Amino acid sequence: MTPETVARLRRETPACATLLHFNNAGSSLIPDLVHQTVLDYLEAERRMGGYEAEAALAARLERFYTGFAELLGAEPAEIAWAESATRAWDSVFYGLDWQEGDEVIIHVSDYGSNTLSLLQMQARKGIAVRECPSDGSGQIDVDALDRMIGPRTKLVALSHIPTQGGLVNPGAEVGRVTRDHGVFYLLDACQSLGQVEVDVRAIGCDALSGTGRKFLRGPRGTGVLWVSRAALDRLDPPFIDGHSAFVSGDGFEWEPGAKRFEAFEQNYAGKAGLARAVDYALEIGMAAIAERIAGLAEQLREELASLPGVTVRDQGERKGGIVTFTVEDKPSRGIVAALGAQGINCSLSYARWAPRDFARRHLPEMVRASVHAYNTPAEIGRFVAAVAEL
């Protein structure tokens, strides 16, 4: 990424002048253009009325579908609005026809909210939740997955980039295995959208869920669901209204495409803002963004690891922009609070959000520092120096 592009990113993110923000895995700083798009939409609703603003600004709302299609290598008809990544993920998971004895295969890095849905369906229907082992790097063992899939396997669910560390799971390699076996593949891309290049055709998943607030730099309360055209008829959406379906004779028919997973009432200002955030990422270039994030994170890991008493906890053959670490004899909660008092944002990674991984690796609470393309090597130096002082 050129110095001019970095300067643009920081100029269009005013908080960079006063804040060191290493909490992009929680919620990134919103660019001015996204912020203004949301304000403009709300102003239109205030002056015109909600339905009238929706009609007048229809092109901005439609860009949500065409923009995400461009970002993901998909078709606009395969894109659906969601209020969050969890609701998008749930729409697919609860839309499958679960029967007693059906199997789900996950990895130990599975996100806690997804795990809860699995356990609920286990209690409701008697499904089996199986855990694929890790390879020597800590990522999902693709060869083991190939051996595990059997006649009762209905779903492989994978967190592409888990919330609790730098690991980037091999999504495309998993996709090759699930395609060979004809098993449904649901990819949680909550942390990967906006951080790494995501091409759904190359990955080979059947459905993908994501959020707007993290590395895509969109507003909170926004999300996206992608469902391949081929997978639509394998799912029965878990809710229905006059937007997602229509009465036909004595029955009903779903809307064509992925919009059957939407509800009528939506956060339209947020939807327009997320569409602008997607365009912003496309303007900068996802390849350049991904390369810069990975480079900054690797520098951060190396410098933290050089400090006495600091242990970097990240796993994986490939690593992304999330860096987790602990400091000997220092509680991570205290470190996060102390850094926050200095205008340095990071977050706490704890067991609730990845219970299987924390239990398996006997992890304590960790400090999670997550970088974005608008961060700088100088900020890494300041962060590491602050940790050293603590």
Q: Which of 156-160, 264-268, 287-291, 351-355 has the lowest mean pLDDT?
A: 351-355
Tell me, what's the pLDDT at 35?
98
Reading the block at residue 153, the tokens are 């396997």
Residues 6 or more apart whose CB falls under 8 angstroms from that of 259 comprise 77, 80, 243, 244
User: Could you report the per-residue pLDDT of 292-305, keeping only the tens digit for each?
Assistant: 999 999 999 999 99
Tell me, what's the pLDDT at 162?
96
Residue 126 near residue 100 (C-beta atoms within 8 A) = yes
Tell me, what's the pLDDT at 305?
97
The class of domain 35-283 in CATH terms is alpha beta
State the span(s) of the chain assigned CATH 3.40.640.10.
35-283
The three-state secondary structure class of 210 is strand
**What's the pLDDT band for 109 if we cut at 50, 70, 90?**
very high
Reading the block at residue 203, the tokens are 């990955």
Task: Work out the average pLDDT over 314-331.
Answer: 96
Identity of the amino acid at 160: H
User: Could you report the per-residue pLDDT of 189-243, keeping only the tens digit for each?
Assistant: 999 999 999 999 999 999 999 999 999 999 999 999 999 999 999 999 999 999 9
39 vs 221: CA distance, rounded Å:
15
Buried b or exposed e, range 275-309, using 16+ CB within 10 angstroms: bbbbbbbeebebeebbebbbebbbbbbebbeeeee
User: Could you report the per-residue pLDDT of 366-390, keeping only the tens digit for each?
Assistant: 999 999 999 999 999 999 999 999 8
Nearest CA to 65 out of 257, 204, 202, 232 is that of 257
DSSP string, 92-114: HHTTS---TT-EEEEETT--HHH
Q: What is the mean pLDDT of the chain?
A: 97
Tell me, what's the pLDDT at 126?
97
DSSP string, 275-343: HHHHHHHHHH-HHHHHHHHHHHHHHHHHHHHTSTTEEE----SSB-SEEEEEETTB-HHHHHHHHHTTT
Tell me, what's the pLDDT at 87?
96
Tell me, what's the pLDDT at 291?
98
The class of domain 3-26+286-389 in CATH terms is alpha beta
Largest CA distance in the chain: 72
Tell me, what's the pLDDT at 184?
98
The partner residues of 227 in beta bridges, in order of sequence, read 207
Nearest CA to 134 out of 159, 99, 102 is that of 159
Nearest CA to 109 out of 159, 172, 62, 179 is that of 159
DSSP classification of residue 140: B
**What's the pLDDT band for 110 if we cut at 50, 70, 90?**
very high
% of the chain with per-residue pLDDT over 90: 98
State the span(s) of the chain assigned CATH 3.90.1150.10.
3-26+286-389
Identity of the amino acid at 239: F
For residue 292, CA distances in Å to 24, 197, 339 come to 14, 12, 24
Sign, Cα dihedral of 306, 307, 310, 313: negative
